[in-house]
Structure 1
């Protein structure tokens, strides 16, 4: 059924209200997006700061592993993980989180390396502070700016990746509402006869990802002193 006063965004091929499904699909997208972003960013923060602080063989081996993971595009790695563990919301979260971790770790490590060389870190070591205290009290707070920017960016990337997996039939499965599934059902069979089935979920994905991208840019401008002073 086409959009009307009864169904503002129309109904899908099974007569289900599009607006209701988009709203419930937003819950799925945000759960996946924030879960992947928080877990990947937290793991990347630990690996990045630890690698930069301890250096040596730990840094060498860890960077080698991260390079191997980053050699594969995010969606390809996610497809491989889903193929191993299966579909479903929890497995999709795992599949998207794994390739996001090295991306955060590399950026955090880069910031932490510059902080490791500042005089007050040497002064903290000279005072006899332990490694954990130096990392938690001096290094982690100084890498929070890039960490928060990455956290925001990862939400949008994870939502887009989840929609892609669901569209391919390898992500969230029915009866759980997901924008990728809605897009799949509308694009394949009803693109010409009922285009609203695919248009509105596509707009939801695009606007959500674009919104998180804008928020990330604004956060970067607010946290970067060079950009803030312009």
Structure 2
């Protein structure tokens, strides 16, 4: 999936709104899945995470309820899984949630930007790396609140995002290197962040080569 900006969704449902039958069913399903994540065995966690990834891809109600029921911390915990399949599904689920402001806010507020940066070079598959770059893109660039977007980006830089992205430029996957350059270019557009990019050895040459 190419990293691209998308408009912020402002119509996300909340628990304070009247609950129709279909949203009530979604709510119950989410609560069950979160319980399984916290208590289930590894195989059950894999199944639940896979379901969350599939439904959260297109269902904004499911996305909202997942965040509201504190699924994000459990997904972040599963980043340490030694199963490449679990890593892929887990990262894809986090990517879906990071596309929405409420998901971005939760990831940042639980202090896990650094964790996401750290696993870029730990996950077993390139697709998971690709999705982590996309998560960082949404965390730092796709927030309707400009001050919050700047704060998120500052935390991402402090967590080592620039050096982690720079390391990916030597990959033999052109799409991954291209997305890393795109995010670094986005970061460099803000005066408060440009020095973090320019001070990284070799990045200027990479920018010039990408033109």
Q: Which has the higher contact order (CA 8 A, sep 6+)?
A: 1
**TM-score calculated relative to the size of structure 1:** 0.24
Q: Larger radius of gyration, structure 1 or 2? A: 1
| Structure (1/2) with the larger helix percentage | 1
